[in-house]
Structure 1
Amino acid sequence: MPPALTSLAAAAPSTPLGPFVDSAVAWTTWVTLMGLVGLIALAVLSAGPAAARTAPSALAAVTARLARAAAVVGVLAVPAVLTDLAHGASHGGGYDYSAAWDSLYDGSNAGRLSGLEVTLSLVAAALVAPLAVRSVAAGRARSWLLGAGLVASSVALGTTKFPTKTPADWGRTSFETLIWMLHLLGGGIWLGGLAGLLLLAAPGAIPAVERRAFWSMAIRRFSVSATSCVAAITLSGLFLYWEHVDGLSQLVTTMYGRVLGVKILIFGGLLLLGMFNQFWLHPRIDAARDEGDQRPLVTVLLRRFPLVVAVEVLLGMTLLFVAPFLHGSARNQAYQAQVAEQSATAVPAKKLPKLAAKQVGTDTWVWGTAETVAVVVLMAGGYRLSGRLAGRRTAAAVTSSPLPS
């Protein structure tokens, strides 16, 4: 039960959006860490296997291009993390890099996690850096280096949400950490992968004669990863919504809810573009490839794909910029506003009461299980439907007369 409202006296709580520079600093950290994961994952899960099957001569070039970008992003993650730490360590709103550096591995759990974040980012960059050389990218070390780099970068991203204190409830804390890992890794693989696809769309990576076959398979394989990531983000987002928001009304009555609403709208825009790719563009590219179509239509489709991906990347980066503005909880902001309305005298804002964390009950598990099944079925069904659409277009093209080129 919440504390009695009549026994409290507080000023109207202030829940500012937060300084713009704070979000900008945090944004650079998220972009580099998530981009590092996504670029390597793209080489491991989608672009690499697609090149190996459809354009073996381009495998080294594809791997090298993604490896160069990942190595650069991994190195840039270090100053991004240190800048974030330095901004937090400065009491005057500046940047205390000396304090930030000293906080790494300072004996505290937070220091160890920050140290691992920096160290593992560099380790991931060092692992993939040799693959920037095409002769190395074409060798047997490719899979091992990419796999090790993906593990290191994933743990570096995960350290941002690992608990810094010994939890009182190991079960709940472990589950919340798992939820955050799904949220962050899903976003990293999806958004970083989109950026990697945009890099590969630039001239020089894929020979023209193999370009259609490569992109058809690469897009299809990335669709599997992206669909899985959307499912992970949706499920983890539903849990975080349950944990921090009590009812749809708080999406408009609290600052946390309004920021979350903007984030949901951007995520919805990304989903709409993804659906356009999945159900309209991809089936047409697949059908054109399967029927050996060399007409200008295929070129138009392949040129349209990078444009859509570029818009998705911009929306994704905007989403990462909005996310750091989420502070506190809509539940607490609404409760503190209610306390202030019934207060007679003012107390410091830091002493305003907070609601206890929601307790997980049987109904929570029932709803959570139902939501999980529904999301998985919806995503799997959507992927299979897009594949059937491609098959139908191919069959229709085969039975119809060819159009003049």
Structure 2
Amino acid sequence: MSDFQRSFLKAKLANLPLEPPMPRNAPPPHLSMFDEAEEDAALGYDAFRGEVPSSPINDDSSSASSASSTSTIRPGLFTRPELPKRKSTTFEPLAWSSYFSQKLYLHSPSTDCTYHAYITPPLPSGPLFVTHHGAGSSGLSFALLASSIRSLLPSAGILSFDARGHGETKTTKDEDLSLSTLSGDLVSIVNLCRVRCGWDKIPDLILVGHSLGGAVVAEVAKSFALGERVLGYAVLDVVEGSAIDALQSMQTYLSTRPLGFSSMAQGIEWHTRSRTIRNQTSARISVPALLIEAEPASPKPWRWRTDLGATQPFWEGWFVGLSKKFLEARGGKLLVLAGTDRLDRELMIGQMQGKYQLLVLPEVGHFVHEDAPEKCASAVSLLYS
């Protein structure tokens, strides 16, 4: 560009307004003919780098003019928000020690049984939440719930154990999973824990049971085996009527499960991909306790610890009379369900009469306490008030 042309353009530009006026009939921004990318191009703005490209004209005055004009463009104004980061897809196990302070092996000399449990002891003034898992699960099923309860009630303790035939608990009759035996185990574990921890008396108790565990805690509460120490109990996603109906298809469900897994990570992945457990973090904590490396030389050495099919003789006995026991036992009552369709007639009447609290979480699966631990903890914590 010649000096004459440069002087002529500067004189013309000096008489122009700093910003061009907006036409009267200009369309509003959301009706603009430009999309966001075209607008960036028209402004000479690099949306991916967040900067204005340098001018192709390399003479000194043009470069200075270009540099001064960039000061009126705020990169933050045009920078597109970052895309949300993808959730982690790792399926490596997580350690139990992040969720409980210690684990115990409670031996009963009278029965020659050794119960395996995870515990965070309560403070002297706090309650003890005692949890019982469902069939085929383990005490680590309640790991995230335990952390959530402690965040709401720092003085509270959590005792979560492996039922006989599950996890690391060893008894003389692991195959005896009758309701009376499982209920007796819960009472024994609480008393053994009192001795081991050196408590003068059993703390105030809140019993929490999922599925089969719900039937066990209702049985213990109704029998008054732990006396007035039980302030309340929560039953998670099990109702007598629908549970008995579901038993008809249980063997069909079990036949669809893999017989084994090539690695622990694959077992965790199956639980999340199949939506059995919808909370990936919880699956990484709880699933490792469900599997054992039973056949190291096999392509799929990791097998189920508990043979659920072998528990079939006890299925009906777990749930018959559950609704009545739940409604008649002493203490505060909470029922947490994954859908209102699970309510049977007796519980519907009891709910209308205000005999218990009901929490419905339609966005979760059967493992409500693993899928939504914070919401379950908020409801369960209200039993101690």
TM-score, length of structure 1 as denominator length: 0.24
Structure richer in strand, relative to its length: 2
TM-score, length of structure 2 as denominator length: 0.25
